[in-house]
Structure 1
Amino acid sequence: MSTTTFDIASAPAKNMDQARALGRRRKMVDRLVRWACTVCTVVGLVFLASILFTLILRGISSLDLTTLVRDFEPTTYGDDTLPRGGLRHAIVGSLIQTVIGTAVGTPIGLLVGTYLAEYSRGSRLGDAVRFVSDVLLSAPSILIGLFIYQLVVLPMGGFSGFAGSLALAIIVIPVVVRTTEDMLQLIPNTLREAVVALGAPKWKMVVMVTWRAAVSGIVTGVLLAFARITGETAPLLLTSFGNNVNSWDLGRSMASLPISIYQQANSGFPDLIGIAWAGALLVTLGVLSINVVARVLLRKRK
């Protein structure tokens, strides 16, 4: 009898000891994971800061008005009397191709994302389209360049700015699709039901209500897609190829900042390498600015 009483009385004490031990172990694991996350974050920030510092240190000395307003010139190393070249041809070519690529890819991505969010819920076709879009989103960009090379460059008989713009448009499409679908899914169904209850057709509900409610998020996705294609090099090497003159002709090879940076960085001449660093800084600042604007718009949307 006394033994049974002792076991019953000691059971709560044992449970409390086990609970305390479990709590200490959980707290220890939580601290370890927190410290590991903090260390990894600091390491990532250090690498990012070192990249930005190196770009600013190497590129700021060559980033001046001459770099922005003059086209490529042969190296002037050792002769300061000759005019120094710049990156105007590459800046103009990049702007043309990225703007056209964004203009072509954005409507397609917007309509596909709207279809996935509004019309294909639970359908096999919608699941297949979503899967293909996700695969395309993670596909290496050089594969897209190779695809356009076989589809456009070879039949046209040469590299062209049109082919480069088309390759960039394909990169834009899945980014806009994913952003549009996610933003439209955040719109409450009660809003859709209210519009339909008033007798409006579904297409008008999408255009006049859901698109307007998600416009800032959709614009954010477009800006992120534009920022991504700004620094693409691999697909342009196989499509527009690049040149050293300022050209507005989409039927010929066209310069771009990433390709010019690649070419001049491998030239071996200090002045051309300095211009390449300036171009890299210019691309980085442009992409960083676009991402900051996109994040601000997304924060306002939230």
Structure 2
Amino acid sequence: MTARQDRIKLIQDAVVRSSARRKLMDKAFTGATIACIALAMIPLGSILFEVIKNGSGAITAEFLTQPQGSILAGDGGIGPAIQGTLIVVALASAIGVPVGVLAGIYLSEYAAGGRFASSVRFFNNVMTGLPSIVIGIVGYIALVLTVGSFNIMAGAVALSIIMIPIVVGVTEETLKLVPNSVREAGHSLGIPKWKVTMFITLMAAKSGVLTGITLSIARITGETAPLIMTILGTSLFFQGFTGPVDALPLRIWRLASLPYEHAQSFGWGAALILIVIVLALSMALRFVVLRRSGGRAPALKL
């Protein structure tokens, strides 16, 4: 009995030491993870702090609604830039989101891993890393010179080209995470494949797809180079689809390059408004999707 008790005690001691070692490693990795998150948040928090500190003083009703006035006197505001940003982002999203989501659905649900699908994925990855100024130059040559003037549609198309690869990649990878049993359940009921894809698979992956759309909108909202080459910028409100229009990235770039105190203050204020717009669009998009689904999967009409 003594030898048996000794063996049991040895086993218990080994289990205790192993458990203590695992707990120590777990705490160490948890602490390292929290430290990395804190380090990553420092530059982000610093940027937000500086923008809010320097830009909040410029925010007034006139600043948000009026066109740019005298830089030296600090008159006017960024009303045309806010309007132009909302219009060009909306147009770019109307082009880029359907194309990106449908392309991602094709690659995930219909492409059989052939040469065509591989080519599409390759070019999509190339487009993801393409410099935005190159896209702006292409938009200038293809659309601005064709129309004969800088115009908002050229800017929207250029931004949609930046947007599409992001939406395609996120949509494809998110749909691949949906278990095949979900698709098989729909097929077993005799539901056509396109309905299974659109109303079951896509709805199961809507959170990830929505994240990709939100990231793409946030990316294009702050782009400057393509807009310089396509919409040029103006101090007037929207005049039509064939004329130049202002945008917040352009206005920030121009104001920040001026040596006047009022101009730099307006630039900080415009940067703060741009951040608020991106945050508001992201939250509104998520709210609309969650409200339409009611927190449940939508009813399927066979």
Q: How does 1:38-187 map to 2 (within 5 A)?
A: 41-77=37-73, 84-187=75-178
Residue of 249, 256, 264 corresponding to 2:255 = 264
Q: Is the aligned partner of 1:193 residue 2:189?
A: no
Q: In structure 1, what residue type is equivalent to 2:118? A: D
Q: In structure 2, what residue type is equivalent to 1:193? A: E
Sequence identity percentage: 38
Residue of 207, 224, 246 corresponding to 1:216 = 207
Q: In structure 2, what residue type is equivalent to 1:84? A: D
Q: Is the aligned partner of 1:234 residue 2:230?
A: no
Partners of 1:205 and 1:33 in 2: how far apart?
A: 42
Residues matched between the structures, number: 273
Cα shift readout 1:233-276 (whole Å, capped 9, x = no counterpart)? 01100111111111241101110000011111222221122111
CA contact (8 A) 1:224 1:294 kept: no
Q: Which moved more, 1:185-194 or 1:101-110?
A: 185-194
2:216 alignment counterpart: 225
Partners of 1:145 and 1:34 in 2: how far apart?
A: 44
Shift of 1:32: 9.8
Partners of 2:28 and 2:185 in 1: how far apart?
A: 50
Partners of 1:106 and 1:38 in 2: how far apart?
A: 35
Q: In structure 1, what residue type is equivalent to 2:48? A: L
| Structure 2 SS opposite 1:238 | helix
Cα shift readout 1:122-149 (whole Å, capped 9, x = no counterpart)? 2221111111111111222111111111
CA 1:132/1:263 → structure 2, altered by over 3 Å: closer, same or farther?
A: same
CA contact (8 A) 1:106 1:222 kept: yes
CA contact (8 A) 1:69 1:88 kept: yes
Q: Which moved more, 1:266-275 or 1:65-74?
A: 266-275
2:274 alignment counterpart: 283
Cα shift readout 1:2-22 (whole Å, capped 9, x = no counterpart)? xxxxxxxxxxxxxxxxxxxxx
Shift of 1:159: 1.1
Q: In structure 1, what residue type is equivalent to 2:186? A: V
CA contact (8 A) 2:80 2:247 kept: yes
CA contact (8 A) 1:74 1:85 kept: yes
Partners of 1:205 and 1:93 in 2: how far apart?
A: 39
Q: Higher Cα Rg: structure 1 or 2?
A: 1
CA contact (8 A) 2:72 2:260 kept: no
Shift of 1:31: 10
CA 1:139/1:30 → structure 2, altered by over 3 Å: closer, same or farther?
A: farther
Partners of 1:251 and 1:58 in 2: how far apart?
A: 35
User: TM-score when scaled to structure 2?
Assistant: 0.80
Partners of 2:201 and 2:233 in 1: how far apart?
A: 41
Partners of 2:138 and 2:185 in 1: how far apart?
A: 45
Shift of 1:45: 2.4
CA 1:215/1:39 → structure 2, altered by over 3 Å: closer, same or farther?
A: closer
